[in-house]
A and B are shown apart, each in its own frame.
Chain A
Amino acid sequence: MSEQKLAANEYIKIRSNYLRGNLAEELADVSTGSISEDNQQLIKFHGSYMQDDRDLRADRRKHRLEKAYSFMIRIRVPGGVSTPAQWLATDELCEKYGNHDFKLTTRQAYQLHGVIKSNLKRTIKEINQAAMDTIAACGDVNRNVMCNPNPFLSEIHAEVLKVSQQISEHLTPNTGAYHEIWLDGEKVESSEKEEEPIYGKTYLPRKFKITVAVPPSNDVDIYANCLSFIAIVEKNKLVGFNVAVGGGMGMTHGAEETYPRIADVIGFCTTEQVKQVAEEVVKVQRDFGCRTDRKHARLKYTVQDNGPAWFLEKLNTYLGWPLQAVRPFVFETNGDRYGWVTDETGNSHLTLFIEGGRVIDRPGFPMRTGLKEIAKIHTGDFRLTANQNVIIANVSPEQRPLIESLVEKYGLEDGKKRSALRLNALACVALPTCALSLAEAERFLPTLITELEQSLEEVGLRHDAITIRMTGCPNGCARPYIAEIGFVGRGPDRYNVYLGGGHAGQRLSKLFKADVPSPEIKPLLAPIFSRYAKERESGEKFGDFVIRAGIIAATIQGDDFHKNIK
């Protein structure tokens, strides 16, 4: 193999001295609210993205002001479980330093937007004081570990949550940079302590995503992640996990060599082995992942290029022992189940619908205040779901009436009044803050759903769950390519429309029509809804129907995602 030039980010990582760069120096420069390109890459590893309000770009120069720079801060919530105190801390921080709202992300994290540079340090410090952190929430490392917030089986949930938290802790970068820059930590002089025993000096070639799922719920979307552990429960006991590798969403418009990919389930390990398996999968990717082209650097390409069998063999070599054979499992859905459920211990759990994951007070609907009031009295926990909703979990029978009365008082939504379409929708942040977005997502999807609801109502499908996901760019934060209907931003008010994803997130979709102006989406889909209402078989999901009806060809795996387009 000839020597190729590494991707630019690789040199940034090498130069950074384990993620330090000259971030501290640039944070102190008061003349600008921005930081340099290199540090923009590095700060991701610390859990933050520099952004600017794109709505204002044209306007700012006229005022003799630079772009409206601010920072998004992602707070890790391993397994999505956070305490009421942590909820309150996040709520307070968004008020003090952010845009007065916060986002529950598609990876079960909290996200603050609009934090200006001069407040970055104190915000991150206060996050840490609330026993949370932001390190590795973004960047070429393992990000927030997701876990099914299963409200039905509390004992199993407690076990898998613990596994998720262990993985998260084990794969957290070791560098002292985070403490030095944000927490006034001692500067580490000795380079020995600087070692990243798992990642090494250049960390991973690209971001890395891990989930832990409990069938039959695939809410964490194991097929869209680099590495997943699927809990295998036999006779109400957790016996271990199937291991899935090589899923991922991101692609680039017009570049067929980039594509989303469904993870391969390659084996089984025991609960005790999970930590080691996670570490070795990371190491295989560290050593074999592509470092010359960032568009080809995710684990999914390593698996696709070499084949799942090769990957399993490598992994077994790294482990020093072989994974066991895959155990049977069944996923039924990747959506959330709304409302109250009671578990085997007698505690209750309430899943609330949070549109777009945005916790915000709006005129007439003080949702953020309502949740804050709940957090003040709640003795259980808050569970963030992969679908951007929240579960008020572990409510004791004595507390339940109190919570119910607050839900009533603030008009919080258990989903009953919403269409199934809306309840199964997901959107990324997109405009105005995300630098990558080509079109609206979070701000537009609710409007589009209202339009599509009319079509569905007309054909009597109000209560049929169809997964619908929208992203502002093809990178796939809301996992659009495994939705039954996916919209991916192409340009202002224009979307690629994808159909045929599996209802449980188990199958990729395919491009149905490219570059559709937003007003034409409803007329494009209405006839298909109509056919679905008339022609579907009993229990047939929308994603399956469009394939059977010949509207779209099924996508088997990433390498045929761009093929057989009609």
Chain B
Amino acid sequence: MLPAHAPFTESTRSLVNAALVGLDATQRAWLSGFLATPATELPQKPATNVKALMLYGTESGNSEKLADRAAKEAKKKGISATVKNMADLSPSDLKKHANVLVFVSTWGDGEPPDGATKFYKEFMALEEKLTNVNFSVCALGDTSYEKFCQIGKDFDAKLEALDAKRLVPRQDCDVDYEDAFTSWLTATLGTLAPATVAVEAPVVAVAVESSYGLKNPFPAEVLENILLNGKGTAKETIHVELSLAGSGLSYEPGDALAVIPSNADDVVAALLKAAKLKGDEAIETKASGKKSLIEALTADLDITGLSRSVLTKLQEASPHPKLAALLDENAKEQLKEYNYGREIIDAISDFAPDGLAAQSLASLFRKLPPRLYSIASSPLAHPDEVHLTVAAVRYQSHGRERKGVASTFLADQGHPGQSVKVYTHANKNFRLPASGDTPIIMVGPGTGVAPFRAFVEHRAELGNTGKNWLFFGDQHYMFDFLYQLEWQEHLKNGTLSRLDVAFSRDQPEKIYVQQRIAEKGKDLYAWLQQGAHFYVCGDASRMAHDVHEALTQIYITHGKLTREAAEAELEALKKAKRYQRDVY
């Protein structure tokens, strides 16, 4: 350590001290020699002095993963990086950080990730200037939603408004974020650590833990494909069992499985017809490489999801006054209305009635994104297997039959003997309690029941003694009681302690899980007081919100709290990871 009498200012002395921390004898010896030579080539600023905060807000784990990767790359450049979850930080702490890189996703209709809600709200209300903070935002989103990357945009604008300095422009990432992310990261780290240490090729950042992943998915053999709804149902919920044997892929209950679907032949055929193309035309896109149009449309491209971005490209390829009007900045409502219930094929029919050139058509589309499904099995109960609970999406709109790409791919093509390209995706924010004695309450209507099948199986395999309480709901008791026989078995064995159900269409008035939760409020509150963890999985748009409200009411009624205090309790529960959600 430099002595106090050394010829340095106070601040420089502490900087040098910081730089010397952790150097071994060889490094010190080398440094003394290096410093003894003429000072002309010394860097202006020692690289080790740069600190950066990698701040993430995550729902599915992607933002967290990217923040981790950014930190790893930063360290290679000598930047001292720390990674923080928005859930664990207060916005007023931001001023302490010289450089803040924000990684945040946007959900549903422009919502922040669940765990980041509080931070986001407080941050957007922040008044204290952040004059000494440098920042850049990496926003995650999905172009098929109108409010694409909205939360990232909000952070970006607010940071600017608070006089923070933007290092590089915000990067908005679509579901296929890899390339956008690496180029943004290279640029951002370049501004933080300008010279001395050579910047490694960003491609290193792509390195993943398992040999199978997005770029190299595992072809999993389908072992079973069962319709879970009985005859008479209006639903089509399937149970798919896949083999992971030989993949080396592993997962925990709560994790998701990414499925890489392909587009159905009839959907591709209809699109080709609308575009007045045969399909054997050769094309080349970044997502597909060089191949025939029909192959690219089937395997590589998102040929259904309608968005401003797709329409903008369509307008460039085949200008149409009506489309121009829709894309006008002042016509956002009209555009939203147009996009509702429509797919790309409708836009082509409407605005490019004479068809398109093959290359123009192929260039409209983004890469076909993988679809994440919450895993429905415990690896202990089903070694080398992974199970999914999938609702096949089929409906009619604007005179056409529509189908969800991944769900109908699994329903129609995921049959025994076939294989499906997959990789596992960790979700650290949806985990069983550390202790097997801790009681858990699970709210999983519809396919939201999937991870709870995994939870209950897992705890049963481990012989855990913690109580398990499941709330399930769907349309009809008779037809839609997913995994009914399994729940009966678990109840009999004591591996499920309590079961409450809500079937919305069995009676004139609609009954949903949140009503059952409210009815059982007293017991539920007692469980929570005993330390129970509360899990919600399923529909984000209404169910999760209504369940949250029911839970708030329980704290108000049975905890005798004001609304504010009840909300604070729930925030504390979230922070303690006792209230976790996996909603979509």
Query: A residues engaging B (CB < 8 A)?
Result: 30-33, 56, 59-66, 68, 70, 96-97, 116, 118-119, 122
Q: Which residues of B contact A66 (CB under 8 A)?
A: 484-485, 488
User: Residues 497-511 of chain B: 1 if any A CB is under 8 Å from the residue's CB, otherwise 0?
Assistant: 001110100111000
Contact among A32, A63, A119 with B227 in the assembled complex (CB-CB below 8 Å): A63
Within 8 A of A (CB), among B466-511: 477-479, 481-488, 491, 499-501, 503, 506-508
| Interface majority SS (helix, strand, loop, mixed), chain B | mixed
Please measure, in the bound complex, the distance between the C-alpha atom of A297 and the C-alpha atom of B488, giving whole angstroms.
Answer: 37
Query: Which of B228-236, B286-294, B432-440 lies at the binding interface?
Result: B228-236
Instruction: Please tell me if B226 contacts chain A, counting CB pairs below 8 Å.
Output: yes
The answer to whether A65 and B506 touch across the interface, beta carbons within 8 angstroms, is no
The answer to whether A116 and B506 touch across the interface, beta carbons within 8 angstroms, is yes
Residue among A32, A64, A66, A68 with max Cβ neighbours from chain B (10 Å): A64
Q: Which residues of B contact A32 (CB under 8 A)?
A: 488
Known: A30-B501, A56-B231. A65 touches B226 (CB 8 A): no
Nearest chain A residue, comparing its CB with the CB of B490:
A31
Distance (whole angstroms) from the CB of A500 to the closest CB of chain B: 42
Distance (whole angstroms) from the CB of A71 to the closest CB of chain B: 12
Please measure, in the bound complex, the distance between the C-alpha atom of A96 and the C-alpha atom of B227, giving whole angstroms.
Answer: 27
Please measure, in the bound complex, the distance between the C-alpha atom of A70 and the C-alpha atom of B476, giving whole angstroms.
Answer: 13
User: Residues 524-567 of chain B: 1 if any A CB is under 8 Å from the residue's CB, otherwise 0?
Assistant: 00000000000000000000000000000000000000000000
Distance (whole angstroms) from the CB of B497 to the closest CB of chain A: 12
7 A-B pairs with C-beta separation under 8 A: A31-B499, A61-B485, A64-B228, A64-B482, A65-B479, A70-B478, A96-B507
Distance (whole angstroms) from the CB of B132 to the closest CB of chain A: 59
Residue among B477, B482, B487 with max Cβ neighbours from chain A (10 Å): B477
Within 8 A of A (CB), among B191-231: 226-231
Q: Which residues of A contact B499 (CB under 8 A)?
A: 30-31
Query: How many CB-defined contacts (below 8 Å) exist between A and B?
Result: 57
Q: Which residues of A contact B77 (CB under 8 A)?
A: none
Known: A31-B491, A122-B507. A68 touches B230 (CB 8 A): yes
Please measure, in the bound complex, the distance between the C-alpha atom of A65 and the C-alpha atom of B501, giving whole angstroms.
Answer: 15
Distance (whole angstroms) from the CB of B229 to the closest CB of chain A: 6
Known: A63-B229, A65-B485, A68-B478. 5 other contacts (CB 8 A): A63-B230, A64-B484, A64-B486, A65-B230, A66-B488
Distance (whole angstroms) from the CB of A116 to the closest CB of chain B: 5
Nearest chain B residue, comparing its CB with the CB of A63:
B230
Nearest chain A residue, comparing its CB with the CB of B492:
A31
Distance (whole angstroms) from the CB of B305 to the closest CB of chain A: 32
The answer to whether B231 and A59 touch across the interface, beta carbons within 8 angstroms, is yes
Query: B residues engaging A (CB < 8 A)?
Result: 226-231, 239, 477-479, 481-488, 491, 499-501, 503, 506-508
Please measure, in the bound complex, the distance between the C-alpha atom of A554 and the C-alpha atom of B230, giving whole angstroms.
Answer: 50
Residue among A65, A66, A96 with max Cβ neighbours from chain B (10 Å): A65
The answer to whether A33 and B491 touch across the interface, beta carbons within 8 angstroms, is no
Distance (whole angstroms) from the CB of B238 to the closest CB of chain A: 10
The 7 closest A-B pairs by CB, nearest first: A30-B501, A64-B485, A63-B230, A65-B484, A65-B230, A31-B499, A31-B488
Nearest chain B residue, comparing its CB with the CB of A122:
B507
The answer to whether B231 and A64 touch across the interface, beta carbons within 8 angstroms, is no
Distance (whole angstroms) from the CB of B503 to the closest CB of chain A: 7
Contact among A62, A70, A119 with B507 in the assembled complex (CB-CB below 8 Å): A119
Distance (whole angstroms) from the CB of A118 to the closest CB of chain B: 6
Q: Which residues of A contact B229 (CB under 8 A)?
A: 63
Please measure, in the bound complex, the distance between the C-alpha atom of A66 and the C-alpha atom of B477, giving whole angstroms.
Answer: 11
Distance (whole angstroms) from the CB of A179 to the closest CB of chain B: 22
Known: A30-B501, A119-B507. A59 touches B230 (CB 8 A): yes
Q: Which residues of A contact B503 (CB under 8 A)?
A: 118
Please measure, in the bound complex, the distance between the C-alpha atom of A59 and the C-alpha atom of B487, giving whole angstroms.
Answer: 19
The answer to whether B478 and A33 touch across the interface, beta carbons within 8 angstroms, is yes
Please measure, in the bound complex, the distance between the C-alpha atom of A60 and the C-alpha atom of B232, giving whole angstroms.
Answer: 11
The answer to whether A118 and B477 touch across the interface, beta carbons within 8 angstroms, is yes
Nearest chain B residue, comparing its CB with the CB of A96:
B508
The answer to whether B226 and A63 touch across the interface, beta carbons within 8 angstroms, is yes
Contact among B239, B479, B500 with A30 in the assembled complex (CB-CB below 8 Å): B500
Known: A31-B491, A56-B230, A63-B227. A97 touches B485 (CB 8 A): no
Please measure, in the bound complex, the distance between the C-alpha atom of A33 and the C-alpha atom of B228, giving whole angstroms.
Answer: 17
Please measure, in the bound complex, the distance between the C-alpha atom of A60 and the C-alpha atom of B477, giving whole angstroms.
Answer: 13
Distance (whole angstroms) from the CB of A73 to the closest CB of chain B: 15
Please measure, in the bound complex, the distance between the C-alpha atom of A33 and the C-alpha atom of B487, giving whole angstroms.
Answer: 13
Please measure, in the bound complex, the distance between the C-alpha atom of A97 and the C-alpha atom of B509, giving whole angstroms.
Answer: 12
Q: Which residues of A contact B491 (CB under 8 A)?
A: 31
The answer to whether A119 and B501 touch across the interface, beta carbons within 8 angstroms, is no
Q: Which residues of B contact A31 (CB under 8 A)?
A: 484, 487-488, 491, 499
Known: A30-B500, A31-B499, A65-B481. A60 touches B230 (CB 8 A): yes
Q: Which residues of A contact B239 (CB under 8 A)?
A: 64
Distance (whole angstroms) from the CB of A227 to the closest CB of chain B: 39
Distance (whole angstroms) from the CB of A62 to the closest CB of chain B: 7
Q: Which residues of B contact A61 (CB under 8 A)?
A: 485
Residue among A30, A32, A68 with max Cβ neighbours from chain B (10 Å): A30
The answer to whether B478 and A62 touch across the interface, beta carbons within 8 angstroms, is no
Q: Which residues of A contact B227 (CB under 8 A)?
A: 62-63
Please measure, in the bound complex, the distance between the C-alpha atom of A105 and the C-alpha atom of B245, giving whole angstroms.
Answer: 59
Please measure, in the bound complex, the distance between the C-alpha atom of A62 and the C-alpha atom of B478, giving whole angstroms.
Answer: 14
The answer to whether A116 and B231 touch across the interface, beta carbons within 8 angstroms, is no
Please measure, in the bound complex, the distance between the C-alpha atom of A61 and the C-alpha atom of B484, giving whole angstroms.
Answer: 10
Please measure, in the bound complex, the distance between the C-alpha atom of A371 and the C-alpha atom of B406, giving whole angstroms.
Answer: 48
Q: Which residues of B contact A63 (CB under 8 A)?
A: 226-230
Distance (whole angstroms) from the CB of B64 to the closest CB of chain A: 35
The answer to whether A33 and B477 touch across the interface, beta carbons within 8 angstroms, is yes
Q: Which residues of B contact A60 (CB under 8 A)?
A: 230
Please measure, in the bound complex, the distance between the C-alpha atom of A413 and the C-alpha atom of B73, giving whole angstroms.
Answer: 84
Please measure, in the bound complex, the distance between the C-alpha atom of A369 and the C-alpha atom of B458, giving whole angstroms.
Answer: 53
Nearest chain A residue, comparing its CB with the CB of B229:
A63
Distance (whole angstroms) from the CB of A28 to the closest CB of chain B: 11
Nearest chain B residue, comparing its CB with the CB of A68:
B478
Q: Which residues of A contact B500 (CB under 8 A)?
A: 30
Contact among A62, A68, A70, A116 with B226 in the assembled complex (CB-CB below 8 Å): A62
Q: Which residues of B contact A64 (CB under 8 A)?
A: 226, 228, 239, 482-486
Nearest chain A residue, comparing its CB with the CB of B479:
A65
